[in-house]
Structure 1
Amino acid sequence: MIGLFLSLLSWIGLSPVPLAASLIGTTEPALKLLISIILGYPLGIIYNKYVKEYKEYRNIYFIVTGLDIAFYNFGLSFYHNLIPAIVIYLSTKVLGPGKNNAIVTFIFNMTYLLIGYIMTESEEYDITWTMPHCVLTLKLIALSFDLWDGKKMLKFEKLSENNKKTALESTPQFLELIGFVYFPACFLVGPIFSFRRYLDFISDKFPVDKEAHTLEDQAMKRLIQGLSYLIAFQVGISVFDIKYMLSDDFWETSIIYRHFYSGLWAHFALYKYISCWLLTEASCIRFGMSYNGKKKTEMGEVSQWDACNNIKLMRFEGATKFQHYIDSFNCNTNHFAAEYIYKRLRFLGNRNLSQFFTLFFLALWHGTRSGYYMTFFNEFIIMYMEKELESIISKTEIYNKLWNSNAKYLLYVLLKTYTIVFMGWSLIPFDAKVFSKWWRIYASLYFSGFILFLPWGFVYKPALIKGIKMLSPSQ
């Protein structure tokens, strides 16, 4: 009940949070969020040491601690996160675990979330009840599809291997469902995981006791990494600030400087999310939720604790194309989008169309501001160009010769520069949110991203193919 205690201190004017927030240069809601995220780690220790042995109290522990965190951050608004859980419980009872239930759950949760955005969204970075609610929306939509898949499995219908791993053959019990919703390690900012994983966890299917030493080491490693990225974020935003990019002074610098500045700003801005995900992953590991089977090594089989991993650090930091960012950043949300949106749009019969609607869903899931839609449109046009460009040039002799010579180091530097610079260009609308702000910054960059990516299909691609044919007439 730490959250309730801190709330009481705030009500009587004795909370140290406002002063601490001003000292480190952040807002009170942001510091409360950070405190709550870090709380997941000791709550995991307490669970394994004192609560786990009492099976009948496990769900209750998650519910009480999760509600405590929710109340501390959002006050009485925490009830918003409870309503969709009750609705899916009742709709599953009434409609059954099938197609109709999945449709109702999808529409209800997205509508509830969008109404919440309309009621609470501003031009700034908001920390309101909609933050955990957007995570909850994906969890409940996935749950409804997993129930539907379970019904298909009982009818011996074909399912993909991934769907078989998450399909549910029985409906959730109420306490299990609420415990799943308020699981304290990742209630606020994710990562999301399937209800099937939650059931396996509380049913002791993960070797938490046998692998206690490995679990503790992995959890501590992620905790240290999370705190390190948090420090890097604080240092980075003290140097690179989007408010400066909106100023007249920014226009007076060189165009090259503006591009590099926006790229480095974006890189450090993403550390905010990375640090949160590393800290929540540390808590998930400490609870024992993150078990991911065993892998063979030279030392024999070892347990993996990366099932709740939401960021692949080496892939992210070494990215030389935007596919690397997609593969490494917000992995669980990307997995959700692939499994529950993209693959279920097969009936459209067009991959680009399926990708477009998947990205539109993700933009809608983030909010109603134009910046979100511009950001995911950027992702669409960049990936469209990258995939086709790589497919074309990877077949050429000169491309392979360059990567097999010392020129590969220069190519790496060029590609790394490209990804950093244009990740900045892509992310500007997401952070600026409103049209007037991100359009102003795009104007200062002379709309370079649009010039590079938009004409690909009808200008650059034909010219490239023609040039390759001229250089390699035998091909």
Structure 2
Amino acid sequence: MESIVAPFNCLSDFYFGFDSANAIITEWSIQTGIAMDQLRYVLCLFLVYPLALIYRNIPSTTFKHTADVIVGVLIAQLVLQFAWIHSFITSTITYLLLCTLPPAYAPICVFIFNFSYLSGSHLYRLYVDYMGWTLDFTGPQMLLTMKLTSLAFNYSDGKQSQKEGKSSDKVIASRQQFAIQKLPTPLQFYGYVYNFTTFLAGPAFEFREYLDTTTEIRFRHKNVTRVPSNAFAVARKCAVGVTCMALYARFASLFPISNFYSDEIASMPILAHLWTLYVTLLFVKIKYYGAWKVAEGAAVLANFGFQGFHEDGSPRGWDGIDNMDILGFELSPSIRQALRAWNKGTQNWLERYVYSRTNNSLIATYFVSAFWHGFYPGYYLFFLSLPLATTVNRLAYKRIRPHFVDGKLQSIKWMYDLSGTFVSVMGMLYFVIPFQTMSLTYAIIAWRNLYFVGHILCVILLVVYSFIPVPRRVVKDI
């Protein structure tokens, strides 16, 4: 009798506990020295690739949604254990809210509910893992919060467009681009929620992207009979991601976060001090580059992220859900452009569903962004300092840059661009330190070691730029 039920016990173990898989991963973790939570994440990021290859060839849209739900939940169970239930609770309540509330009020209620739940999750993490870096359910929950709130606004926008028709207003027209005019079926909804290529590390994309890809509407063109090849895009993203992961695994331990507030590092000569801080931050970023690029590659392999066709039927590319412009961030000529190149999925979400719906309020946008990340004081020091830096950036763009673009200084515009890149790199290095240290005490120590130079320079430049007249030919604000 025991031999008969043994296979079923094995299946139960695999599907619900993954005890055997976890035992193997634990052994690998001991052998490699990689934390088990990180190893599980990384293994599942690569496990998605062969699954995505199968997924893209499923002919039935219904089967694709079903595969997303089943595979997504299994991966969530393996990585998060039963903590994945939080995603089910929030998504189910969100769907019920969309079903029962008037579309005009549903987005606000969905937004408040999901942010309240996410805040509770962050507070719980503060209690059980204060200042820790454990990869738990709060990461996927942050991504899910973006997806659920954007879906609620998309549904409301769709219902509004049905009543009012097409609008000439640019903001409303841009909203209609992602609007949906009817509520997704439960299968479509949960397929979007648990889409296995993006559940763990993103990128979080619009429901319209998910629906148009799974139904293959996005690939229809009069001169095209098959889905364009994405092999190069997948290989490029995966190669960049793997390279970043390898660099992080090999060298990151040499540049710990404590460098930011270390008195020993601060006692170095200024150039050595700044270089050490720069390399330390670089390896922090490389960790995200690796995970995001590998995740992007898997999503593209499943045919997400296609940018459409040119008029002649040639493909525009596969960067539609690109989450990180690495060179654009590292070599950005301004802090504002650097922010747009970083975590673009989140930036788009903030711009579409916070900034444009709060009368273009930067303060509200930065506050929501900090709230979304959690409650460590360092997050708020970072996001509340950004308006000062971006205001200085705007003034420089309006009052200084035109002299190098249209004025007498055109011949040395390269000097302006080069200095802008240097200031952007140093500015981001300075302002982002609290975000990484998280602690108020460590952040103040780090800024004190740098003599609060970032804030002081911003205030000085703000005063100086205010007295510089705007040139007659005003370049359009960025």
Q: What is the TM-score of this pair, normalised by structure 1?
A: 0.87
For residue 465 of structure 2, what is the amino acid of its counterpart?
A: K
Q: Distance in 2 between matches of 1:198 and 1:87?
A: 21
Deviation at 1:151, TM superposition (A): 0.9
Letter in 2 for 1:18: S
Candidates 457, 461, 466, aligned match of 2:465: 461
Conserved 8 A contact 2:87-2:141: yes
Corresponding residue for residue 450 of structure 2: 445
Which residue matches 1:202? Answer: 214
Pairing partner for 1:186 from 187, 198, 220: 198
Match for 1:139 among 138, 147, 157? 147
Which secondary structure does the structure 1 equivalent of 2:402 belong to?
Answer: coil
Structure 1, 427-436 or 193-202: larger mean CA deviation = 193-202
Instruction: Report the Cα distance in structure 1 between the residues aligned to 2:180 and 2:404, rounded to whole angstroms.
Output: 50
- The whole-number CA distance in structure 2 between the counterparts of 1:17 and 1:5 is 21
Instruction: State the distance in 1 between where 2:393 and 2:81 align.
Output: 46
After TM superposition, list the pairs within 5 Å mapping 1:83-122 onto structure 2: 83-96=89-102, 98-121=103-126, 122=130
- Alpha-carbon shift at residue 411 of structure 1 (Å): 4.4
Structure 1 residue matching 2:198: 3-state secondary structure: coil
CA distance in 1, matches of 2:52, 2:178: 24
Q: Is residue 282 of structure 1 aligned with residue 297 of structure 2? A: yes
The equivalent residue for 2:280 is 265
1:435 shift after superposition: 0.3
2:348 paired with 1:335: yes
Aligned runs of 1:44-443 on 2, under 5 Å? 44-49=52-57, 52-96=58-102, 98-121=103-126, 122-156=130-164, 158=167, 160-207=172-219, 214-295=229-310, 301-346=314-359, 351=360, 354-396=361-403, 400-405=407-412, 408=414, 410-443=415-448
Whole-angstrom distance in 1 between the partners of 2:406 and 2:17: 60
Q: How does 1:18-37 map to 2 (within 5 A)?
A: 18-22=29-33, 26-37=34-45
Whole-Å separation in 2 of the counterparts to 1:153 and 1:286: 33
1: CA distance between counterparts of 2:411 and 2:226?
43
Task: After TM superposition, give the deviation of residue 260 of structure 1 in Å.
Answer: 3.1
Say if 2:26 and 2:36, in contact at 8 Å, map to a contact too: no
SS in 2 for 1:172: coil
Cα shift readout 1:294-318 (whole Å, capped 9, x = no counterpart): 1369xx7224221111112332232
Contact between 1:319 and 1:325, CA under 8 Å: does it hold in 2? Answer: yes
Structure 1 residue matching 2:354: 3-state secondary structure: helix
Structure-2 separation of matches of 1:46 and 1:185: 12
Using the aligned pairs only, state the percent identity: 22
Q: How far has the Cα of 1:263 moved from its partner?
A: 2.6
Aligned AA (2:390): M
The Cα offsets for residues 258-292 of structure 1, whole Å up to 9 and x where unpaired, read as 23322332233212222222111111111011111
Q: For 1:193, give the aligned amino acid.
A: F
Contact 1:109 1:141 survives alignment (8 Å): yes
Structure 1 residues 279 and 149 mapped into 2: Cα distance closer, same or farther (>3 Å)?
A: same
Residue identity opposite 1:358 in structure 2: T
- Is the contact made by 1:44 and 1:284 (CA closer than 8 Å) also made in structure 2? yes
Question: RMSD of the alignment, in Å?
Answer: 2.8
The alpha carbon displacement at 1:398 in A equals 9.8
- Partner Cα distance (1:411, 1:165) in 2: 37
Q: Is the 8 A contact 1:290 1:307 kept in 2?
A: yes
Shift of 1:79: 0.1
Which whole-Å CA distance do the structure 2 matches of 1:212 and 1:398 have between them?
Answer: 42
Contact 1:18/1:28, CA 8 A, preserved across alignment: yes
Structure 1: distance between partners of 2:209 and 2:192: 10
CA distance in 2, matches of 1:421, 1:235: 25
Query: Relative to structure 1, is the Cα distance of residues 402 and 370 closer, same or farther in structure 2, using a 3 angstrom cutoff?
Result: same
Contact 1:337/1:358 (8 A) holds in 2: yes
Aligned residues: 451
**Quick check: 381-390 or 413-422, which moved more?**
413-422
Displacement after TM superposition at 1:229 (Å): 2.2
2:135 match: secondary structure = coil
Shift in alpha-carbon separation, 1:101–1:317, aligned structure 2, 3 A: same
Instruction: Kindly state the Cα deviation for residue 174 of structure 1 after the two structures are TM-superposed.
Output: 0.8
Q: Tell me whether 182-191 or 256-265 shows the greater mean CA deviation.
A: 256-265
Aligned partner letter, 1:78: W
Mapped to 2, the partners of 1:452 and 1:234 lie a distance apart of: 36
Q: Secondary structure at the match of 2:177?
A: helix
SS for the counterpart of 1:368 is coil
In the alignment, is the contact (CA less than 8 A) between 1:67 and 1:182 conserved in 2?
A: yes
**Unmatched 5+ residue regions in structure 1?**
469-475
Deviation at 1:432, TM superposition (A): 0.6
Unaligned residue ranges in structure 2 (runs of 5+): 1-10, 472-478
Q: Take 1:14 and 1:202, find their aligned partners in 2: how far apart are those partners?
A: 33
